[in-house]
Chain A
Amino acid sequence: MSEQTNLLTRQQIAARAAQDMEDGWLVNLGIGMPTMIPAFIPKDRDVMFHSENGLIGMGPPPAEGEADQDLISAGKELVTMISGGSYVHHTDSFAIARGGRLDCAVLGAFQVAVNGDLCNWRLPNQTSGSVGGAMDIAAGSKRVFAMMSHTARDGAAKIVAERTYPLTAMQVVTKIYTDMAVISVTPDGLILNEVAPGLTADEVQAVTDAPLNMDDVGTINVAA
């Protein structure tokens, strides 16, 4: 097993995912790690963020004294709006999500299966779950990227041949960003695109419960 120090930090995973947010995209970010992405978007790219509580053009947290109690993100954090943003009501906000206007959703995940199945709303041993907008956004977004630790706290693989957790949306994930690797989910299976510096492809495969194509593996650029 690799040393803990070779795993990417949450910031480094966010920075890597941010590189794949393309100019002109409208992006929805799930609660948790994905909300760190905006800080790492390259300055020359115009990427807008959609927050499903009715905010198109979500900006960074407010400066001290600038907070507005009526302006929050879907993660309940106080935020700002960028120039050219707009407010919508919930039905329109989810029309944007379901109607294919989101270029990308970056969501946390408990499990991702080889076929792109996403599981992120409820643990199998939980009796209740908070679904929020996860199912609508995952089903409707043009692309769904999963962002997560490569393995669960107990070491169990989170990238699996077949899901065992409650489903959020079928066959939607096309890319996975973890603290060990960047993986593409394709009709031909999983492709290991990049590994974290200091890790080998075999080390990533060892904690992944599905075969990885390792024909062309690069290293994640973590240069600040």
Chain B
Amino acid sequence: MKGKKSATLEDAVGRIGDGASLLIGGFSDPGVPEFLIDGVCDLKRRDLTIITNNPGFRHGGIVRLIEEGCVARLVCSFQWGLEKELDGFRQLYDAGNVEIVPQGTLAERMRAAGAGLGGFLTPTAVGTDLAEGKPTMTVDGREYVLEKPLKGDFALIKAFKTDPRGNLIYRKTARNFNPVMAMAADYTIAEVQEDVAMDALDPEIIVTPGVFVDTYYVTGWYEIGKDRSG
């Protein structure tokens, strides 16, 4: 499909409903789809499950979603001390609604979901608190933990450029989780810095083929990690 462009932010995120699970890209500030997150905040949805590497460490972004009571459950590898600073996070944590997942396992669980696999065996976390209750298996003398696929109803990702089919390229370490999240959701929404004409991107350098992208919204360049909530 060629016409994947959303003219407005509302068009891009409007179909996200209460109770949806969202894979949200980024590692620290690079690669975080800040416009899309603000768009979701403005929808005032409830009971969202947020799956992301780190929910942020300042106000705005995913922290804003937590502060505004939109989040019922959080899956992440890092929370960077948020439990000390943010009551909303503390409440989620104390209620058992924050799942801490080793970073490589988080990425691979999404890859498994995107690739149609039922899970995978990883040496990561064997014998630790984070493997508690999970099946283990010994293969060729090494012990592994069985990890299940992790899927989202929606992926909110950020890319550098897109063509009309949603073929994406990224910028530097802003790539991070975005390609794997694009694979692992039923509906993937990309915010992109720039959209270019068909054939303007060399097919050899496409990182995420448009088959994984349902719609995109063009933001232009912006300074990342700025508080836009005020």
Contacts and interface: CB of A to CB of B under 8 A. Distances in A.
B39 interface: no
A29 interface: no
Interface stretch (B22-30, B43-51, B59-67): B22-30
A17 B123 CA distance: 27
A131 B189 CA distance: 28
A130 B127 CA distance: 17
A12 interface: no
Interface string B74-116: 0001111101000000000100001011111101101100000
A131 B78 CA distance: 6
Given A53-B28, A128-B79, A135-B104, 10 more contacts: A55-B172, A68-B172, A70-B174, A89-B175, A93-B104, A130-B79, A132-B102, A134-B102, A140-B104, A167-B127
Interface stretch (B12-20, B176-184, B195-203, B209-217): B176-184
B124 A127 contact: no
A169 B124 CA distance: 8
B77 A131 contact: yes
B83 A88 contact: no
A69 interface: yes
Interface range on chain A (Cβ under 8 Å from partner): 35 or more
**Chain B interface mostly helix, strand, loop or mixed?**
loop
A171 to B, nearest CB: 9
Contacts, number: 140
Nearest to A130: B78
A98 interface: yes
Contact of B123 (A51, A70, A139): A139
A91 B173 contact: no
A49 to B, nearest CB: 13
B103 A54 contact: no
Contact of A94 (B108, B125, B128, B175): B108
B127 A170 contact: yes
A102 B219 CA distance: 37
B137 interface: no
A98 B125 CA distance: 12
Contacts of A68: 172
B224 interface: yes
B207 interface: yes
Interface of B: 27-31, 53, 77-81, 83, 93, 98, 100-105, 107-108, 110-111, 122-130, 170-180, 207, 223-225
Contacts of A127: 83, 93
A136 B105 CA distance: 7
A140 B123 contact: yes
A52 interface: yes
B102 A133 contact: yes
Contact of B27 (A53, A140, A166): A53
Contacts of B27: 53-54, 72, 74, 90
Nearest to B53: A90
Nearest to A117: B127
Contacts of B31: 70
A87 B83 CA distance: 32
B38 to A, nearest CB: 18
Contacts of A130: 77-81, 100
B211 to A, nearest CB: 16
Nearest to A74: B27
Contacts of B93: 127-128
Contacts of B81: 130
A87 B178 CA distance: 13
Contacts of A53: 27-28, 30, 173, 176
Interface in A121-158: 122, 127-137, 139-140
A135 B79 contact: no
A52 B167 CA distance: 25
A219 to B, nearest CB: 37
Given A91-B111, A128-B93, A136-B103, A70 B172 contact: yes
A53 B106 CA distance: 13
